[in-house]
Amino acid sequence: MYRVGLGIRLTSPTGGWCYPSVDCDETSAMQIFICPGIHSPTLTTQFVTALGLSQQEVLIFPADQPVYSPQHVLDFFEPQAPVVMIAFSAGVVGAIAATRTWYDRNIPISALIAIDGWGVPLFGDFPIYRVSHDQFTHWSSKLLGGGESFYADPAVDHLTMWHSPHLVRGYVDFSNRTPNRVTTAATFILEKAGITQFQS
């Protein structure tokens, strides 16, 4: 695996941003930021592992700070490349505000993936995706923004969606047609984050 700081090398059809030491012909490097909810940090470690990533490939907001505070999120993360933000539960509150602020400052946002951010409006001029632990959470959030989304079916509990996304199956909702693609939450998250892992 090729690693640069807190970035992971990603496939990009158009090249784009990359760290100075990365060949930009076919790849670009992005930073993966994670805003967990209010729960044991162990669950976040399990989430990262379930996605097939390592702790060195992501930057996780600390559990002893208020992740729902946009200012704390802005103070902690320092984007140096396009950002992939993955947020869960209360972390979605801080994440959407931070990504909107960065976007306004001309920092590229590759994706915001909001997992079980029920009740949080998700609007922005960059890719936003919702992941929900059941159909009710999914359908009741549709009017609050977010684009293509995933919901678990059969439903799982809130924390299972976070610590075991690779075990959660469900449907992809493309917004303009009946949901019909079955996949796992982990696969959906990785696809929307644009993460492609490879051996060096």
How many angstroms separate the CA atoms of 14 and 53, rounded? 24
This prediction's pTM: 0.84
Range of the domain at 77: 3-193
* 188 belongs to a structural domain: yes
How many distinct structural domains can be found in the chain? 1
* 200 belongs to a structural domain: no
* 38 belongs to a structural domain: yes
* DSSP type of residue 65: S
| 58: pLDDT strictly greater than 50 | yes
* 42 belongs to a structural domain: yes
* 199 belongs to a structural domain: no
Q: 97-152 pLDDT, tens per residue? A: 999 999 999 999 999 999 998 889 899 999 999 999 998 888 887 888 777 899 99
User: Of 117, 133, 141, which is closest to residue 170 (Cα–Cα)?
Assistant: 133
Distances (CA, A) of 30 to 91, 132, 150: 20, 25, 23
| 13: pLDDT strictly greater than 90 | no
The CATH number of whichever domain residue 159 belongs to comes to 3.40.50
* 198 belongs to a structural domain: no
